[in-house]
Amino acid sequence: MTTPTRVYIARLAGLTVFDPNGDQVGRVRDAVARLRASGQPPQVVGLVAEMPLRRRIFLSINRVTSIDADSVVLGTGTLNLRRFEKRPSELLVLQELLDRRVRIEPTGRTGIVVDVAMESSRGGEWSLTRVAVREQTGRLGRRGHLHQLEWERAGGLIGLPETRGTASLLAVLADMRPADLANALQDLPDARRNEVAAALDDERLADVLSELPEHDQVEILSALGRERAADILEEMDPDDAADLLSELPPPEQDVLLDLMEPDEADPVRQLLKYKPGTAGSVMTSEPVILPPDATVAEALARIREAQLSPAVAAQVFVTRAPLATPTGRYLGMVHFQRLLREPPAELLGAVVVNDIDPLQPATPLPEITRRMATYDLVGMPVIDATNRLVGAVTVDDVLDQTLPRDWRERDREAPATGESDG
């Protein structure tokens, strides 16, 4: 493999990074450039790669031996695994330059940065040399001309930006999993984070909010305005929406719940009534529920639905009508492995299992954890005093409650900067 002498950095985002043995290190998330007082274009000193468990590390550009359309390969040497943190003299190219409004010299027209190229000199030094800028036309629906400018011909690249859009940065982030996108948002300044979050569609933002620490959830929700915030809460799973609302003052909870559609707000209101640390407070009120006369084939089709999380799709709960929580009489549950072993035409009533006592809404978290571990379950039913199914506790619900409250925060160990791995 060979490395081109000019590389557009937005095209690097998401590429897999491999070590010399062919093992995956992580994925490229940005490039780090050092500002130079001489007026020369910034020098690229390395890449930021995201490893498993959301750790971002610095990779010196001197360690990169090849770049192609699918991957970045490192040479031999020891990786610095400390968390990356940018120094004041550095900039993160994608985070700070994409969508920035600049002047196109010498015409003075304005445009929006959509990509930045780094180029290697004969001595192997990489610098930011060219900027892809789309001219602003002022005409709705018409795309302006795309200019390929030398760095010095794009005025306003360095310094405080004017108000800017989010389209180019969102394009870079588009293919990230919600948890990875949530991690990327935590790297942005608060104002930029709120801009990007507001530009996501409702369903995408709801998924991302569920992966953020509580204080970030609250700040983003507050910045959206109440009408949009209510729309986002409607897109969230009821238990996630209830968890988020529980971080707000009761009067604000009531306002947002009143703005939600009644059928979306009602299960959230019910979850907010339960005491924290109990089955009622952590359960989902929308597990997979089918009647006893449904077939195995119907159950398998239901758990294949893409919007279901693996933990929710792992079992089907069988009840009498009505099937929305609180349901009719609870009859039992069927794990998906049992469904795979039964004839497709078999009725669920014939294969249902009810030999494990369901949880009560007031069952405390330690008891839930003990029972799920004892029976190797990933989900358990929660029934009320009249034997109606009111929800289900899944293993991800338990993990969210048993992990430290700040587990979604970025790790706080000594940072690795752009100058520490070279």
Q: What angle do CA 287, 293, 296 make, to 5 degrees?
A: 65
Using CA atoms, how far apart are residues 2 and 161, in angstroms rounded to an integer? 36
Query: Do the beta carbons of residue 238 and residue 283 sit within 8 Å?
Result: no
Q: Does domain 7-90 have CATH number 3.40.1010.20?
A: no
**Cis (ω within 30 of 0) for the bond into 322?**
yes
DSSP assignment of 313-354, as one string? HTEEEEESSP-SSS-SBEEEEEEHHHHHHS-TT-BGGGT-B-
Give the homologous superfamily in CATH for domain 289-402.
CBS-domain (3.10.580.10)
Sign of CA dihedral 232, 233, 238, 241: positive
Of 111, 119, 94, 136, nearest to 40 by C-alpha is 119
pLDDT at 406: 65
Q: Please give the structure tokens belonging to residue 256.
A: 């947002």
pLDDT at 405: 66
297-315 as b/e, with b when 16 or more CB fall inside 10 Å? ebbeebbeeeeeeebbbbb
Using CA atoms, how far apart are residues 298 and 290, in angstroms rounded to an integer? 9
Residue with tokens 């997979």: 288
Of 190, 237, 185, nearest to 212 by C-alpha is 185
Of 363, 371, 369, nearest to 397 by C-alpha is 369
Q: CA separation (Å) from 207 to 12, 94, 210?
A: 25, 23, 5
By DSSP bridging, strand 71-74 and strand 16-18 are parallel
pLDDT at 160: 60
Return the amino acid letter for 63: R
Supply the mean pLDDT for the chain. Answer: 88
Q: For the purposes of burial, counting CB atoms within 10 Å of the CB of 411, is it exposed (0-12), middle (13-18) or buried (19 or more)?
A: exposed
> What percent of the chain lies above the pLDDT cut of 90?
61
| pLDDT tens for each residue of 335-382 | 999 999 999 999 999 999 999 999 999 999 999 999 999 999 999 999
Q: Please give the structure tokens belonging to residue 177.
A: 């999993």
pLDDT at 412: 43
- Give pLDDT < 50 ranges for the chain: 1, 411-415, 420-422
What's the CATH code, domain 178-273? Answer: 1.25.60.10
pLDDT at 387: 96
Q: Is 78 helix (H, G, I), strand (E, B) or coil?
A: coil
Using CA atoms, how far apart are residues 243 and 57, in angstroms rounded to an integer? 31
Using CA atoms, how far apart are residues 267 and 326, in angstroms rounded to an integer? 10
Domain ranges of the chain: 7-90, 95-155, 178-273, 289-402
Return the amino acid letter for 83: R
Using CA atoms, how far apart are residues 202 and 181, in angstroms rounded to an integer? 15
pLDDT at 169: 87
The conformation of residue 416, written as its DSSP 8-state character, comes to: B
